[in-house]
Amino acid sequence: MSLHRWLLTALILMMAVFPSASGSGLSGVAHAQVELPNQPQAVPEPAIDPAANSSDDRAIANRLRGIFQEIDGMQEVAVAVDAGVVRLSGSVADDAAADRAKAIAQRVSGVVTVDTRFERDLSVGGNVEPVVDKLGTSLQSFLSALPLIGIAILVAAVVGLLGHLLASLMGFWKRVTPNIFLAELIAGSIRVVFIFIGIFIALDILNATALIGAVLGGAGVIGLAVGFALRDTVDNYMSSIMLSIRQPFRANDHVLIGDREGRVVRLTSRATILMTLDGNHLRIPNATVFKAEILNYTRNPQRRFSFELGVDADDDPAAAIETGLAAINGQDFVLNDPEATAEIREVGDSNILITFHGWIDQRHSDYRKARGAAIRVTKNALEESGFALPEPIYRLRFDNGAAKSLANLSQAQVSEMPGKKPRKVGTEETLDVSREDHVEKLVDSERSDDGSADLLDDKQPVE
């Protein structure tokens, strides 16, 4: 035993032996508060009254019987109480009613414990009548609320009609938005917003705004799932909006989108429609168009063509360049400003490769025709001036082992060889470089005949 417990015991014994010393200094010690070490405090169990008797049991039983008689579905519950122990029996409609009866009995003062011995009521009347009564009550409540429901529906309809009238002002929305696509988008959004506002006001009138939180919560989860599932569609839709605002090309522009080339027919809310140079329709999703590199050949009417020609390694490249440029500049379809240019591209083992450049006006000349015509006149001019264009060199081996090169053979000997035709020099023909506008006319015809919506607007600035 610890020292402070010994001292406490001694003080108690001294107080018992010397009770008259209460006025002395010992009384001050006896009445002083002695702090004991902290001990764990146990939570006491509810005490059972030892003085309970049969009258208390009868009072508990009568109290419970009175309560059960006032509750629908519990009139058949039998109550027996003995020494504070309540026994409930009889028939109830379901387990919920049994649990409720037990909970009520446990709340009565003086009850020690509750023992239940219920039986499920399987009678038709006991199970059907409560449902019928509940439906009747609900129907009566609904009929009573009909005027309020009618007012709520009327208010929602008026708000929705107001949104529809605002959305119908398409002339105004077309003036304040860049194109008809955004005008229709804003009009549709106004309709949806006003419908939701009308529903919210109607539910507020019916005091059912808590339903909005549940609906919006469910809509948020559903919207998130749908957003992940339709992310490609949403991406394409947003790309359509951006393209309609930025207007990267006009109708009938000759464009190269990625690796797809053609003339623009129209821009819709889902795809950009091209007509290829072969006369075929090509639909490219707007998401692809928005992310791709777009090369517009129509924006600048002046366009440069380039081609390469080679001359013999023994020839003078400067003289070849001068001869070729003179031939190119002598063509009417080649622009003088900017003038044609040329440079040595590469010096090989048997040839010198020269690159020629020239400019044309695409409004009057076809690019492919002009390039082909320029190659032709330049080649002929070089040959007429005595420049040898590189040809494949073969070495022939005869039976006696001697080897001859075609390069060492005379022109007559080469022309007499099978399959070799003499070169025609100095025969120039009229070159046709007129614009090829058949595809352009097809696009114009389709745009005039088809009334499909087009997001391209000539009145809007081009990006």
Q: What whole-number distance in Å separates Cα of residue 72 and Cα of residue 124?
A: 16
DSSP summary character for residue 78: E
pLDDT in tens, 235-274: 888 888 888 888 899 989 999 999 999 999 999 888 999 9
The continuous run of DSSP H or E covering 61 comes out as helix 54-69
pLDDT in tens, 56-81: 888 888 888 889 888 877 888 888 88
Q: How many CB atoms neighbour CB 454 within 10 A?
A: 19
- Degrees to nearest 5, angle at CA 420 with 417 and 424: 130
SS3 217: helix
Q: How many CB atoms neighbour CB 443 within 10 A?
A: 21
- pTM exceeds 0.75 for this model: no
pLDDT in tens, 32-55: 344 444 444 554 555 555 555 667
Q: Return left, alpha or beta for 404; rule: phi > 0 is left, psi -120 to 50 is alpha, else beta.
A: beta
The CB-side HSE value for 161 (13 A sphere, CA atoms) comes to 6
Residue 181, judged by CB atoms within 10 A of its CB (0-12, 13-18, 19+), counts as buried
pLDDT in tens, 406-446: 444 444 444 454 444 444 444 455 677 887 778 888 888 88
Both tokens of 379, joined, read 């080649």
CB 194 within 8 A of CB 158: no
